[in-house]
Structure formats: structure tokens, C-alpha cells
Amino acid sequence: MALFSFFAGWIGYLFICLLGLIFIAFLCFCLYIKYIHLKYDHIPGPPRDSFIFGHLPTIQREMSNDRVVHDKFLEWAETYGPVYRINGLHAVMLCVTCPDTTKSKYSVVLLLHRFFGNGLVTAQNHDEWYKQRRIMDPAFSSLYLRGQMGAFNERAEKLMDKLADMADTNTAANMQHMFNCVTLDVITKVAFGVELDLLKESDSPFPNAIEMCLKGMVHYVRDFTFQLYPKNKKFINEVKKSCQLLRSTGRQWINERKMAVQNGEDVPKDILTQILKTAGKEENIANDDEELMLDNFVTFFIAGQETTANQLAFAVMELGRLPEILTKVRQEVDDVLGMKQEINFDDLGKMTYLSQVLKETLRLYPTAPGTSRFIPNDIVINGIPIPAGVTCVFNSYICGRLDKFFEDPLKFDPERFHPDAAKPYYCYYPFALGPRSCLGQSFAQMEAKVVMAKLLQRFDFSLLPGQSFDILDTGSLRPKSGVVCNIRHRGQTPAA
């Protein structure tokens, strides 16, 4: 009995000590939060919801109510100016809409490292990033992509065939789904020489894998506690399997192509072949470089497909609501293309109003709304001293909807991007800016123009009544209802 009392006493003592340590640790954490508040509270910002959690409850509430969280950031920008702070626990983030600051260059922060590896989107080390960019650049130059116009046309024709079948059977088309299929088909064909034919009844796992990776990325970035809850374990495992599928497939395709090149076999003149040839000229290519190539494969697969599909869907949504703009852009397509099926590279440059429509789509609906930069040194932004060690977020959704940058910002007006109009000064950056701008932007815009031009040339479309025109925020922005359209051949009488 005495022995039991002895151990019970010690256990009680240890428990009290543990509680004391937890209390001291919590107190130290609170003191650190107070220090952070004192360090950054001279920067304007909305009132915090709580001392510890800062603005996180408001942000979480916006996201859980199926709203676009960027609308709240826009509201704060209109209230608190071009630089304001957001607090969350001990962290501080600055939302910046000051063009001169946007123009400056800072080191990219590693927000997406877990999903994209250490590829071009997420590489922090400049020398490492520069080496990757040097290898990748030739494959994404306009000169090289000009030679891929045949593949762009071929994949887009598959979509036209599918839409023709739907027009013949008077079947409504979910354009978001159609564009998701064709953009993924284009990427696998032009980049890797692989034909998925997703517009047919395909059982390919890639669309679902990409969807799962995007969902996982959103949870990882927006809720750091998501992985701690047992109820989310099944979802987390599905995300891991999806990432593993993309990486294992990429590794297989890269290795097969490397062997074919080394054996002198005929290989497709696609982006992968060009990258391997350029990499072969580099000195000291290590296993790490091959892993980086794989990281970029996953990045291209996930980021490239989703964003272009969403841009096309939003463009169709706006054209379906604005018949005057639809008539004007269709007339331009008819003038440039006439009845010919094959679009060449020079045709793309002649369709300037179509370019304006696509640019205006990205102003109002930037499919990847923001980019982050880490501030390693003390700086001054808009007259406000900013201590080092903070992350700045540059949000193209906010800038595109501020009336100080764009008059009547919620109006869809392609004339903003007329060749003679004043160029937006560092307030329009759907593909980011500077040397770290999106490598695949020429690829994406060529693809979007080919698909949209063929659609306008061949079909009339009208939006199905009753659907929402709201935005669904899944990390990237997409139309909530999928843009469901009635499709008709040009000149065909609408069905009764």
C-alpha cells in the first residue's frame, strides 16, 4: 500500500510538472504572439477576431460558407489600402496591391513544395531555379511551340467532333468538363507524346488524380491542422496515392523516352524530347536533376491543365451572357479563318480581339489568383516600414477588381486590352511577373486560342437557363455550375 502511495504521489507530481511546463510553453507562445503584434501592428489591417488566432476565424468562415475568400481580401484592400496585414497565430502575411512593390523581385516562398516538389514553381535557391529554367526554356519558346501547332489542332478537332455529336443529338454540354478533357489531352500529346483520348468514354485515372492533388493542395495551404484529424485520414491517403500515380507515370514516361533517345530510336518531337536534349548538354547532371525534371512534370500536369480549362470555361460563360462581344469575336474568327480547319501560328497573331477576350477573362477570373514572396530584409512599402521575415501576397484577383486600376471593374470589357489602350501598370499578372513568370504561358494561350477559335468557327452556343454564374474557389477558380450550354452547328435552327 505504501509503495502504491509512493508511485501515485510521484505520478501526481509529474503530472503537475507537465501541466506547469505546458502552461509555461503556452505563456511563452502568447508572449511571442504579443511580440509579433507589437512588431507589425503599425501596418493597417482589420481588427483581429482573437488574440491567438488573429484573422483565421474570419477566413475559415468565408471558406466554409462556400464563398470566394478573395472577395474578403478585396473588401479589406478597399478599406485598409494597398498594404494591409493578416494575422494567424504567430504568423503575419501582408496583402500588397501597390504596383511599384509588385514590380520588385523577391524570393519565392515554398507554399506548394509538398505537392510540386522542388520544381520551377517552388524552387527557392536561385542557382537551382536558373539551371532548371535554362533546361526548360527552349521547349516552351514560341519558336519551338510553333512546330506543335499540328498537335494543338488535332486535339482541338477531337473536341469539335464530340461537340458535333452533342449538337446532332441535342445534348447539353458541360463546357467545364469538355475543356478539362481537351486541355489534359493537349498536354499529354504535345508535352509527352501520349494519347489519352479523354473525350471518349475513358477510364483514365489522370483526371481524378489531378482533381485529388488540387484538393489536397488547397487543404494543405489553407488549413495546417487538416492532417491532424483522424476523420481526414482516408482523404489524405487518396491524395497521396494520386500524387504517387502522377509521379510514377511521369518517371515511367521520362525513363522510356531517355532510353529511346539513347538507343537512337525515332522519338516524337515533343516537349519532353526537347527537354531531354537540352538537359543532355548540361554538365554534371545528377540524380537530383532527374527528380527536378519529375517535379516539373507534376507541376505542368496539375497547374497547366486546370488553369487553361477554367479560363476557357469562364470565357464561354461571359460570351454566353454578352451577345455583342460574342458577335464581334466570332466575326474576327470568321475573317481570319474562313472555312479552313487547320489553324496556323500566324493566324493566332491576327485574332487580336480574341486575345483581348481571353486577357479580360483572366483579369476578372484569374484562375490562379495569387503569388507569394518572402521578404528577407527590412523594406518600405507605400511609405510603411516593413520589418524583415514576413510574407507578401500579391493577389491578381484583388488588383483586377479594384476600380483604381480598372474603371467599372466588374464589367467584362475586352476593350481594356485593345493594342492602343494604356497598358496596366503591374496590376495585371495572371501568369506572375519578372523572371519567375509562368514558363508555360505561351503554351497556355496558344492552346486557349486554338480551342476557342475552332469553337466559335463551328458552333453557336447558349447558356442553359437556371444555372449559377458564381465562382467556385477550389484553390484555383472555376465556374460553379460548370457552364452548361446548348450546342448547335452554326446556322442550325434552335430546337423547339
Secondary structure of 313-354 in HEC code, one letter for each residue: HHHHHHHHHCHHHHHHHHHHHHHHHCCCCCCCHHHHHHCHHH
What does the alpha-carbon distance between residue 343 and residue 389 come to, in Å, rounded to a whole number?
A: 50
Amino acid present at 353? Y
Q: Tell me which residue of 449, 473, 267 sits closest to 370, measured CA to CA.
A: 473
**Strands 390-395, 91-96: parallel, antiparallel or unpaired by DSSP?**
parallel
Angle at 183 between CA 180 and CA 188, to 5 degrees: 120
**Strands 459-463, 91-96: parallel, antiparallel or unpaired by DSSP?**
unpaired
- Decide: 307 and 438 in contact? Cβ < 8 Å: no
- Decide: 156 and 189 in contact? Cβ < 8 Å: no
What does the alpha-carbon distance between residue 178 and residue 24 come to, in Å, rounded to a whole number?
A: 57
User: Which of 195-198's residues contact partners 24+ apart within 8 Å by CB, and which partners?
Assistant: 197/158
What does the alpha-carbon distance between residue 192 and residue 77 come to, in Å, rounded to a whole number?
A: 42
- Decide: 57 and 49 in contact? Cβ < 8 Å: yes
Secondary structure of 346-394 in HEC code, one letter for each residue: HHHHHCHHHHHHHHHHHHHCCCCCEEEEEECCCEEECCEEECCCEEEEE
Q: Tell me which residue of 133, 115, 183, 123 sits closest to 155, measured CA to CA.
A: 183
What does the alpha-carbon distance between residue 181 and residue 167 come to, in Å, rounded to a whole number?
A: 18
**25 phi and psi angles, rounded to 5 deg:** -65, -40
What does the alpha-carbon distance between residue 330 and residue 336 come to, in Å, rounded to a whole number?
A: 10
Please report how the helices 271-280 and 126-136 are oriented relative to each other, as an axis angle in degrees rounded to 10: 120
* Cβ atoms < 10 Å from Cβ of 374: 16
* 438 labeled part of a ligand binding site: yes
The three cell numbers locating residue 153? 489542332
- Decide: 46 and 73 in contact? Cβ < 8 Å: no
Amino acid present at 465? P
* Binding-site positions for heme: 438
Annotated binding site: 438
